[in-house]
C-alpha cells in the first residue's frame, strides 16, 4: 500500500525589526567618533602623500635610485700609439671585468668556489669582497681573459656580472718598453709615452643612466645616453725597425762584455726626430708581475753621467771660434803628463807634438787641457750651455734629467781642466746625442722631438759653420786608421765620431775598476743624416774602452738605419782591415 510523502516544513518568518539590537537608539557620539576617525585617517594619508610627494620627495627619489637606478660608464677606447711608419706600438682590446652587487650575491652559494678557481683567487678573498656593506658595486677581478669571463657568467650566480672594458697591449714587447711605457688597470698612463701624453690618448668616457629590476636587468633608460669620446692616435718619431735593431745590437753588446746595462739613441739630424731610444735590460710591458725599478728606468733619459772624452770636440770648436788655434796649430803634449793643482793629467801614450786635428783624433787629454786653459771659464760654460748641457731635454718625457753644470764662477783651474775632457759635469745620453747635432748641422743645435714631423728643424747657432765643419773633419779622422774609433767604420758609409771612457763615481771618489764606455758619431760624414750615441755601463770582461765596446754598436746601427732611411752609400764597398781601437787613459 502506497504512502503519501511527508510535506517539507514551512520556515518560520523572522521579525528582524523586533530585534532589540536594531531597535535600540545609537549614541550620537559613536557615529561622530567613527566619522572623525575616518576623517583623521584620510588626513593622515593626505599628509603622508604630501610629505612623500612634496616635502621629502628628494629623499625618496634618492632612495629609489639607490635601489633601482644605475649610472653605467661607457668606457672610451684609448688612442693607439704608432711609429713613424704606422706600425702599432700600443693598442686597446676589449676585455671583460667581473663585478658584483653584494646585496644580491649569496655568500654561501655552492658555485662560488668554482668562480674563485676560475678567477685564480682564494675563496675567502672572494667572500670578503662580497661582504654586504653600504656598497652596491664591487670589482671582483679586472680585465680577465674572454673564455674565463664566459665561464664565470655560465655559472649563473645571481649578483655576479660582467662589464666591458679595454685592456692595453704592446705588440713590440721589450724592445720599445722604455719608450711606450704602460697603463694601469684604470687605463691611465704610468710610464713613458703613455704617461707623457696621457691626456691626448685617454679620451672621455660616456655614461648611461638606467633603471634595473631586482634581477639586475635593464628595464628603462632614464636619460639620454652620453656617448664616449675615444682618445686620439699618437704617431711617434720612433722607427720601429730601427728601434728593434738598436735594441738587439745593444743587448748583444751588454751580454758580450758582461756589462751592467746600456743605452742607445738615434736622432735624425735633419728633423731632430728621435728614431730610436733603446735600453737594456728592459721588461715586457704585457707582463709586469715581477718588475723592478732597475728595469723600469729609462737610462737614456733618467741617468746622468760624466761624459769623458766625448766633450773634447766642443773645446776644439770653441778654441777655433775664439781664434786661439787653427786645425793645424801644434800643441806639445810630451811627456804625456801634465801636473796641475796637485793632480796629474795623463795620456794613454806619450804623443809628443800634436796638431789640434790630431788631439781629437788621438783623444789627448793633455792637448785638450792646454787648449781649454787658454779659454775663459765663462766662454766654456756658455758654449756648454748653448749645446744643451745643464738643461732638461725638450721632450715631455717623465723623469728626464737635466744633468749638472755648475756656474763658471765657482770653477777652480783644475775643474776647468777636467771639464774639458768630461769630468766634473754630468749629462744624459739623450743630451749628448742632441749636442752632437751641432757638428752634424754645421754649428747649429737641433731641437729634438718624439713626435713625427716631416719638416726640417731650425737650429740654434752654437759654433760658426766653418769651425763646426773643421771639427767634423776631426771626428772623421778619429774613425779612420790612426784614430781611437776605427771599429766605428761601417760598410758603404763614411762616419765620424768620438769615443769616451769614464771612471764611475763611487762615494766621494772614483771606482778603481768601474767604467762607462761611450761613442757618439755621425754618418754620412759629408752630409750627416743620423747622430747615434751609445753607452755601455760597467763592461767587465777585460775590455773597457769606448772604441772597442761602444763603437761597434754604432757601426751596425748606423749602417742599418741609413739603409732603412734610403740614404745612398757614399763610399765604395771594399774589404778593409782595421786595427784594434785605442782610447785615452781613464782619469
Name the β-bridge partners of 261: 537
Contacts of residue 206, Cβ cutoff 8 Å, sequence gap at least 6: 73, 74, 76, 225, 226, 227, 228, 229
Residue 275: closest CA among 472, 466, 560: 560
CB 98 within 8 Å of CB 118:
no
CA R_g for the chain: 40
Q: How far apart are CA 270 and CA 398, in angstroms?
A: 25
User: Could you tell me which residues are beta bridge partners of residue 207?
Assistant: 73, 226
Q: Catalytic residue at 309?
A: yes
524 preceded by a cis bond (ω within 30 of 0): yes
Q: Cβ–Cβ contacts within 10 Å for residue 369, how many?
A: 24
Q: What are the start-end ranges of the H helices in 480-550?
A: 546-549
CA-nearest of 386, 181, 405, 188 to 277 is 181
Beta-carbon count within 10 A of 81 CB: 27
- The three-state DSSP-derived secondary structure of 167-212 is EEECCCHHHHHHHHCEECCCCCEEEHHHHHCHHHHHCECEEEEEEE
Please tell me the distance from the alpha carbon of residue 298 to that of residue 192, in angstroms, as a whole number: 8
Q: How far apart are the first and last CA of the chain?
A: 154
Q: Which of 237, 263, 282, 309 is catalytic?
A: 309
Give the SS3 label for residue 124: helix
Residue 531 β-bridge partners: 267, 522
Catalytically active residues, by annotation: 309
Amino acid at each position: 500500500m502506497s504512502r503519501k510523502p511527508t510535506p517539507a516544513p514551512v520556515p518560520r518568518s523572522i521579525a528582524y525589526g523586533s530585534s532589540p539590537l536594531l531597535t535600540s537608539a545609537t549614541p550620537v557620539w559613536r557615529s561622530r567618533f567613527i566619522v572623525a576617525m575616518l576623517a583623521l585617517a584620510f588626513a593622515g594619508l593626505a599628509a603622508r602623500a604630501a610629505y612623500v610627494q612634496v616635502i621629502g620627495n628628494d629623499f625618496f627619489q634618492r632612495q629609489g635610485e639607490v635601489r633601482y637606478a644605475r649610472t653605467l660608464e661607457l668606457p672610451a677606447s684609448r688612442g693607439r700609439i704608432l711609429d713613424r711608419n704606422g706600425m702599432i706600438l700600443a693598442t686597446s682590446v676589449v676585455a671583460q671585468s667581473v663585478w658584483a652587487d653584494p646585496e644580491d650575491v649569496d655568500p654561501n652559494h655552492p658555485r662560488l668556489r668554482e668562480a674563485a678557481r676560475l678567477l685564480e683567487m682564494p675563496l675567502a678573498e672572494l667572500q670578503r669582497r662580497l661582504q654586504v656593506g653600504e656598497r652596491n658595486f664591487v670589482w671582483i677581478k679586472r680585465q680577465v681573459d674572454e673564455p674565463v669571463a664566459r665561464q664565470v657568467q655560465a655559472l649563473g650566480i645571481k649578483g655576479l656580472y660582467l662589464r666591458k672594458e679595454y685592456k692595453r697591449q704592446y705588440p713590440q714587447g721589450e724592445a720599445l718598453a722604455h719608450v711606450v711605457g704602460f697603463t694601469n688597470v684604470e687605463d691611465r698612463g704610468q710610464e713613458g709615452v703613455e704617461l707623457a701624453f696621457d691626456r691626448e690618448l685617454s679620451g672621455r668616457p660616456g655614461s648611461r643612466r638606467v633603471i634595473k629590476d631586482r634581477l639586475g636587468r635593464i628595464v628603462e633608460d632614464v636619460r639620454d645616453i652620453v656617448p664616449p669620446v675615444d682618445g686620439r692616435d699618437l704617431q711617434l718619431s720612433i722607427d720601429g725597425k730601427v728601434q728593434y735593431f738598436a735594441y738587439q745590437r745593444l743587448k748583444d753588446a751588454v751580454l758580450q762584455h758582461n756589462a751592467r746595462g746600456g743605452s742607445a739613441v738615434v736622432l735624425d739630424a735633419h728633423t731632430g726626430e728621435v728614431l730610436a731610444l733603446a735600453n737594456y735590460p728592459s721588461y715586457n710591458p704585457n707582463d709586469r708581475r715581477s718588475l723592478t725599478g732597475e728595469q723600469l728606468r729609462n737610462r737614456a733619459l733618467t741617468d746622468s753621467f760624466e761624459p769623458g772624452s766625448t766633450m773634447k770636440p766642443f773645446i776644439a770648436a770653441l778654441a777655433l771660434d775664439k781664434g786661439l788655434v787653427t786645425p793645424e796649430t801644434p800643441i806639445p803634449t810630451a811627456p804625456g803628463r801634465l801636473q796641475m793643482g796637485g793632480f796629474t793629467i795623463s795620456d794613454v801614450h806619450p804623443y809628443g807634438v800634436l796638431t789640434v786635428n790630431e788631439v781629437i783624433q788621438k783623444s789627448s787629454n793633455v792637448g785638450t787641457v792646454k787648449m781649454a786653459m787658454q779659454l775663459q771659464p765663462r766662454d766654456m760654460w756658455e758654449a756648454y750651455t748653448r749645446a744643451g748641457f745643464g738643461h732638461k731635454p725638450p721632450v715631455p718625457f717623465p723623469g728626464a734629467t737635466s744633468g749638472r753644470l755648475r756656474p763658471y764662477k765657482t770653477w777652480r783651474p783644475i775643474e776647468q781642466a777636467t771639464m774639458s775632457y768630461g769630468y766634473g759635469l754630468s749629462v744624459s745620453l739623450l743630451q749628448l746625442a742632441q749636442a752632437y747635432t751641432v757638428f752634424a748641422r754645421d754649428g747649429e743645435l737641433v731641437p729634438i722631438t718624439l713626435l713625427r714631423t716631416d719638416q726640417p728643424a731650425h737650429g740654434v747657432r752654437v759654433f760658426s759653420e766653418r769651425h763646426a765643419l773643421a771639427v767634423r773633419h776631426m771626428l772623421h779622422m778619429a774613425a779612420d786608421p790612426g784614430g781611437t774609433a776605427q771599429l766605428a767604420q761601417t760598410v758603404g758609409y763614411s762616419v765620424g765620431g768620438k769615443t769616451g771612457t769614464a771612471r764611475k763615481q763611487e762615494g766621494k771618489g772614483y771606482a778603481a775598476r768601474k767604467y762607462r764606455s761611450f761613442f757618439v758619431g755621425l754618418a754620412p760624414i759629408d752630409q750627416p743624416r743620423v747622430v747615434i750615441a751609445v753607452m755601455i755601463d760597467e763592461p767587465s770582461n777585460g775590455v773597457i774602452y769606448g772604441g772597442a765596446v761602444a763603437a761597434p754598436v754604432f757601426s751596425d746601427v748606423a749602417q742599418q738605419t741609413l739603409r732603412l732611411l734610403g740614404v745612398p752609400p757614399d763610399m765604395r764597398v771594399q774589404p778593409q782591415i782595421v786595427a784594434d781601437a785605442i782610447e785615452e787613459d781613464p782619469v
